[in-house]
Structure 1
Amino acid sequence: MVKIGYRILKTAFGAGISIAIAQLLQLTFYASAGTVTMLCIQRTRKKSYEIAWQRFLACLIGLSVAAAMFTVFGYHPWTIILIILISIPLMIRFKAKESVIASSVFIFHLYVLKHITWSLILNELALMVIGVSVALLLNLFMPSADQELRRFQQKIEENFRIIFHEMSQYLRVGDHDWNEMEMVETGRLLKEAKERSVHNVENRFDEEELWFYRYFQMRDKQFDVLDHLLPHITSFHPYSDHGEKLADFLDEIAEGIHSGNTAEVYLDKLDKMNEEYRKMPLPQTEEEFDMRAVLFLIMNEIRRYLTIKKSLAK
């Protein structure tokens, strides 16, 4: 069964309302007002404003060129060709190229009637104003995506916890049966969440929606760090005292994953651990040297992860 979405409902009601208003005002070609409304209903308020301005500007350009060409050369099919060849570059020049088709409707109105008067020009502009206005009014009503975004947030945070616990588990027992499914799923969730948060910002323009946008951008950067961190973890020799202590720290970070700012606490702990490791005796073998190098790489990546989180609170 096909689901009728919010945008479809607005498009249907908007077209009907625009036609009813134009018909009530006894405008010629009143059905065209409905066409304009349908073309102006967009997924976001921001996009609707941009399209509405483009439609109106393209209409002015199309009517102006058409009026001049029809007056000079008459009402012939080849005049239409000339009008289109002149008006389309102008629309592109003034960044209204997406409205070429909409403007052509008004050009064809003049061609069908084969006369140009000020009352007819005002009629066409009225159709455009009605169609655009109804679309903009309806697009003021946009459903909030807050609940959906919070579900994305909860699932992404849960996956982050699992990833940290799995890395901690590797440091304790070595290779185990984790299939890294959470890594793949988190990448997909972040992509969807970022797209949805952008639409929400363009719809509502308030501080909370901006917070969600910044939050998912932050998690995406952190996920990139985790992607770089994982190979270092799997190359570290398990069963060591250093690995056990690092594993405990990763478990702490996992349990502290939420939207609040806990990064400062973990950065302080990381500084203390880093200082302890630097005071250790120098490695005696090549293997110890390699493990020490990997250890510092892991800690640097963790620092990068925590610093990214800290930036969200600024």
Structure 2
Amino acid sequence: MKKFSIGYRTLKTAIGASIAIAIAQYFDLASYASAGILTILCVQPTKKKSLHAAYTRFIASMVGMLYAFVSFELFTYHPLTLAGMLVLFIPTIVSLKVADGFVSSAVIIMHIYAAEGFSLSLVYNELALMAIGYGTGIAINMYMPDIQKELNYYRLKIEELYSKIFLEIAVYLREGDTLWGGQELIEAIKVLNSAKSLAFKDVENHFTRRENDYYVYFDMREQQLEIIERVLPKVTALPVIVQEASIVADFLQDLGEHVHSGNTAVHFREKLERVKRDFSQLPLPINHAEFLAQAALYQFIEEMDRYLEIKQSFKGLKAKKERPQ
């Protein structure tokens, strides 16, 4: 059984609906409870989505009122007339790209149908319901909880996972065996998906912001993970352990102990150049197995250079650091 919980969006929906109904009731509007329905339909996960929801519902409702006036006044207030009107109305709002507003527009249409007569007072009533319902929905959705702590949690989590991956590879290169099952790779994918989704939500909650530093950061980490996944099978399946393996292990040990959101990629790329120079000073392979092992390790460090290049292009996070630089 799923754990019972009440989220902030649930609370906002309940509060917003009650406020909208109270306002509509105060002004003695007909069908005042419908203002609560319109508010509920406008409370969305983000501010931008809430504004878009209000826009689509307002346009659809206005089109619905026009269709209702033409259909019911030219013909009659009859279920068949309503059916025929909806047959034409639905494709219209789809073509206008406001199909999401169908439910709210249907509420307005049903009010007109139930009134069995079109009048200015009815139009004013419906416009007032829309103004109160959509306006309250937008206003109540302007409050969004701060997600900085959650984003920072995901940042620390992904850095912890990357650190574990590098340290486990270093152990393998030194000992030639490890009990590591690679579960951190699977977890890293899940964490990055959740983190990017949350960071994108933050963008949607700011009208003038087009990107989020955390989203760029997690996207960068996702690119790095693709490199890790690509080279890991090569470096963990060496036919023999050669001298180069211990050099790479030392580098990965150092890198794994310094995974953070700051930009020190230049420093580690310089270390990687020293690793390449050390490689060139070692004896040539004496058999095919050593040749394959050395080739795999050299390919690995080339990929790691690309890994660091991706990090170097990232300007860094302004968030408070919770790990050593």
TM-score range, shorter chain: over 0.9
More helix by share: 1
Report how many aligned residue pairs link the two structures: 314
Displacement after TM superposition at 1:4 (Å): 1.4
Taking a change above 3 Å as real, the CA distance of residues 164 and 205 of structure 1, as seen in their structure-2 partners, is: farther
Query: What residue is the counterpart of 1:290 in the other structure?
Result: 292
Aligned pair 1:155/2:157, yes or no? Answer: yes
Per-residue Cα deviation, 1:136-171 (whole angstroms, up to 9, x for no partner):
111110001111111111121111111100000110
Gaps of 5+ in 1: none
User: 1:260-299, aligned counterparts within 5 Å?
Assistant: 260-278=262-280, 282-299=284-301
Following superposition of structure 1 onto structure 2, how do residues 4-83 of structure 1 map, counting pairs within 5 Å? Answer: 4-83=6-85
Query: What is the match of residue 319 of structure 2?
Result: none
Letter in 1 for 2:33: A
Give the counterpart letter for 1:183 in structure 2: L
Q: Which runs of 5+ in 2 are unaligned?
A: 317-325
User: Which secondary structure state, in structure 2, belongs to the residue aligned with residue 312 of structure 1?
Assistant: coil
Q: 1:87-98, aligned counterparts within 5 Å? A: 87-98=89-100
CA distance in 1 between counterparts of 2:80 and 2:127 reads 25
Which residue of 2 is the match for residue 101 of structure 1? 103
What are the Cα deviations for residues 165-215 of structure 1, in whole angstroms up to 9, with x where unaligned? 000011000112112222222222112111111112212457797111111
Range 177-186 or range 205-214, more displaced = 205-214
Distance 2:167 2:240 in 1: 15
5 Å-filtered alignment, 1:156-305, equals 156-204=158-206, 210-237=212-239, 239-278=241-280, 282-305=284-307
Computed over aligned residues only, the root mean square deviation of the Cα atoms, in angstroms, reads 1.9
Report the Cα offset of residue 283 of structure 1: 4.0
Aligned-partner SS, 2:114 = helix
* Further displaced range: 185-194 or 160-169: 185-194
Give the Cα–Cα distance (whole angstroms) in 2 for the partners of residues 179 and 273 of structure 1.
Answer: 27
Deviation at 1:56, TM superposition (A): 0.4
| Aligned counterparts of 1:158 and 1:205: Cα–Cα separation in 2 | 33
Instruction: Give the deviation of 1:42 after TM superposition.
Output: 0.8
Relative to structure 1, is the Cα distance of residues 205 and 285 closer, same or farther in structure 2, using a 3 angstrom cutoff?
farther
Residues 3 and 229 of structure 1: CA distance in aligned 2, closer, same or farther (over 3 Å): same
User: Which of these residues, 302, 306, 309, is aligned with residue 307 of structure 1?
Assistant: 309
TM-score (normalizing by structure 2) = 0.91
Aligned partner of 2:117 in structure 1 is: 115
What SS does structure 2 have at the residue aligned with 1:297?
A: helix
User: For the Cα contact (< 8 Å) 1:19–1:34, is it kept in 2?
Assistant: yes
Give distance in 2, aligned partners of 1:215 and 1:106.
Answer: 46
Deviation at 1:250, TM superposition (A): 0.6
Aligned mate of 1:138, from 129, 137, 140: 140
Task: State the alpha-carbon separation in 2 of the partners of residues 286 and 134 from structure 1.
Answer: 74
Q: What's the secondary structure of 1:175's corresponding residue?
A: coil
- Specify whether residues 126 and 150 from structure 1 end up closer, same or farther in structure 2 by C-alpha distance, changes over 3 A only: same
Structure 1 residues 206 and 251, CA, compared in 2 at 3 Å: closer, same or farther? farther
- The code of the aligned residue for 1:118 comes to L
* CA–CA separation in structure 2 for the residues paired with 1:187 and 1:223: 8
